[in-house]
């Protein structure tokens, strides 16, 4: 056989195989997208309205997606979850029942992806529990003997002059000595 005939037969065979293959591929409606696709990556993540027991987390995404915040007291134990009610572009999640004066860690889950703060969970700290100041004792000069007698048997710190936990006759004696 002549070499030209062999090349001709091989060329025809290649055409017979490649044309049906090309038709098959085109019918599959495979869409090849060039460039980056729109992500659900949270942007402008912010924690606000922080109190002893609450915090509000807000962020935006380029397209509407339903998200959730996974949070906890340790960066490796984010077991508490607060989901959104519906897909959104401007997201807001309110966390409640938090412990006062505690560091919290959180990540945002949008779609099937988890987003953090460059490899670390986002963080915030709740306000410490407010400690009310104890009332300072009233100077004995403004105390009255009648008021002290009325407070007898109580734990009123204003009239408990010897600080033994109860207003009694010893406090009355101290009052009389201080006001001679």
* Average pLDDT per 10 consecutive residues for the chain, totaling 180 residues: 76 76 66 52 94 95 93 94 94 95 94 90 93 62 79 85 84 81
Q: In sequence order, what are the beta bridge partners of 83? A: 68
Domains for the chain: give ranges and CATH numbers. Answer: 43-125 (2.60.40.10), 140-178 (no CATH)
pLDDT of residue 126: 95
What's the CA angle centered on 151, arms 145 and 154, to 5 degrees?
Answer: 150
pLDDT of residue 37: 46
Q: What is the DSSP letter of 117?
A: B
Look up the pTM and report it: 0.55
Rg of the chain taking only CA atoms, in angstroms: 38
Helix/strand/coil for 104:
strand
Quick count: other Cβ atoms within 10 Å of Cβ 78? 20
Please, which residues have CB within 8 angstroms of residue 68's CB and are 6 or more apart in sequence? Answer: 81, 82, 83, 84, 93, 108, 109
């Amino acid at each position: 056989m002549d070499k030209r005939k062999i090349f001709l037969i091989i060329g025809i065979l290649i055409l017979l195989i490649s044309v049906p293959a090309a038709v098959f591929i085109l019918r599959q409606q495979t869409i090849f997208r060039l460039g980056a696709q729109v992500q659900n990556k949270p942007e402008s993540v912010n924690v606000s309205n922080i109190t002893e027991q609450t915090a509000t987390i807000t962020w935006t995404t380029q397209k509407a997606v339903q998200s959730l915040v996974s949070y906890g007291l340790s960066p490796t134990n984010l077991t508490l979850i607060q989901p959104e009610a519906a897909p959104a572009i401007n997201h807001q999640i309110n966390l409640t029942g938090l412990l006062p004066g505690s560091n919290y860690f959180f990540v945002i889950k949008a779609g099937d992806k988890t987003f953090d703060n460059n490899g670390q969970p986002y963080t915030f700290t709740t306000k410490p529990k407010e400690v009310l100041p104890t009332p300072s004792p009233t100077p004995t000069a403004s105390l009255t003997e009648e008021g002290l007698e009325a407070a007898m048997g109580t734990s009123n710190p204003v009239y408990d002059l010897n600080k033994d936990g109860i207003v009694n006759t010893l406090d009355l004696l101290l009052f009389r000595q201080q006001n001679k």
